[in-house]
Amino acid sequence: MPYPPTTTYPSTPNSFPPLKLLDIVGARPQFIKLAPILKAIERHNRERPGRPIQEVLVHTGQHYDYEMSQVFFDELGLKEPDYHLGVGSGSHGYQTGEMLKRIEEVLLKEKPDLVMVYGDTNSTLAGALAAAKLHIPVAHVEAGLRSFNRNMPEEINRVLTDHVSSLLFCPTKTAVENLRREGFTNILNDGNLLPLPSASLHPRSPAPLVLNTGDVMYDAVLLYGKLAEQKSQILEKLGLKPKEYALATVHRAENTDEPERLKGIFEGLGRIAQEGLTVVVPLHPRTRNALCSLPLTPYPSTPYPSTPNFLTIDPVSYLDMLILEKNARVILTDSGGVQKEAFFFRVPCVTLREETEWVETVEAGWNTLVGCDPDRILQAVSSLPSPPRPPAPLPLIPLPLVPSPCDDSRAAGRIVVLIGQWLGQPFGK
């Protein structure tokens, strides 16, 4: 099936040739990270029509269910992908290999000036490798994160992507310091948050280049938080009251692919429900499939727990998820993004892993690591202060906490300016 032509921006007198940026996404968290970037590009093209960015969007199809993919494009107002590769699910090797082949075909056709990848999925790694092998510069959004657990496929993806990238856009100074320890030396502003509009790069500054731009997910929460409050009816739909339920998400392969770990996590969640706190679990498709073959207590008669105070529901949209997070009494998760969003909303977080790439949330006292032990899970929730804190108002405070300087919700804007400057257009001037 032929793909439609991508949008082009003709050169005009006294203008610069369009820069072609190719974004590669494929999974739910990446659509969220992409949204502020697309908004920043749209704003840039309106304000500087003589210095346009031609953006080409590639969706690998790593997530393909409506609830895991299309709902984000519909709800967040994202442009439809210029290319949808339709790779679908499969083993890590199959999925990454298919993406490499299909992304390479797109890159050979489009010949972008820069490829941008996001986060730590197989789509991230495949996009970075395909571009690097064709000698196309790679920019990595959310670079430098480390859990220091090489058994996690996400950790492998992060490390390899960073080491083939030319521009490493870090969300925090901790991420910058991780890269410094790995031998990266060309670090702008000594790893501190870059100021705007004075941030500047010389064209083609020696790569790899490490830059602290702030967190695009913080941008996204601020961008869509108020819209979520206006549109979401998820609390009414589920019959929930603010601060009277626990929200839980489980999707990491280390938990879903290990029956004993998954059993321990859901036993812990079941005990929380038995203690009287309603538990809400939007089920990732991988988790639902794993639970169907797993005997669970204290609700062994069903393939996965579902009782009046233990709600297993289909995946929810981003706007609904923001409302569920903001109003939860506590959030239990193995997701890095959800850990951050819990912090943004000042909701206590219990992380269902033994380590986290967002160490700042632990150091700040808002995140507790418990692994899959049911006793530790219950203890972490039982020890929460009472009464619960009210929902945090907007604007939110991002990572890291004071006394470190706070971000100002302009990560996407910084990234767009820096891309243009590095590629030779004086954006931000």
Which positions are annotated as active-site residues? Answer: 251
Give phi and psi for 307, each to the nearest 5.
Answer: -135, 175
User: Taking a C-beta distance cutoff of 8 angstroms, is the pair 167, 380 a contact?
Assistant: no
Amino acid in position 129: L
Closest by alpha carbon to 375, among 268, 222, 255?
268
Contact 7, 19 (CB under 8 A): no
Tell me the C-alpha distance between 277 and 362, whole Å. 24
Distance of alpha carbon 354 from alpha carbon 344, whole angstroms = 22
Closest CA to 315 of 346, 287, 354, 273: 287
- How far is residue 267's CA from residue 279's CA, in Å, rounded to a whole number? 12
Q: How far is CA 392 from CA 203, 250, 344, in A?
A: 41, 24, 8
Q: Which residues, 6+ apart, have CB-to-CB distance to 176 below 8 Å? A: 144, 170, 187, 191, 210, 212
Residue 168: both structure tokens together: 């490493």
Query: What whole-number distance in Å separates Cα of residue 144 and Cα of residue 149?
Result: 14
* Rounded CA separation 138/161 (Å): 9
SS3 405: coil
Tell me how far apart the alpha carbons of residues 179 and 9 are, in angstroms, rounded to a whole number: 36
Q: Distance (Å, rounded) from C-alpha 125 to C-alpha 24?
A: 10
- Strands 278-282 and 167-170, sheet pairing: unpaired
**Does a cis peptide bond (omega within 30 degrees of 0) precede residue 259?**
no
List the beta bridge partners of residue 278.
245
Distance CA 428, CA 414 (A): 9
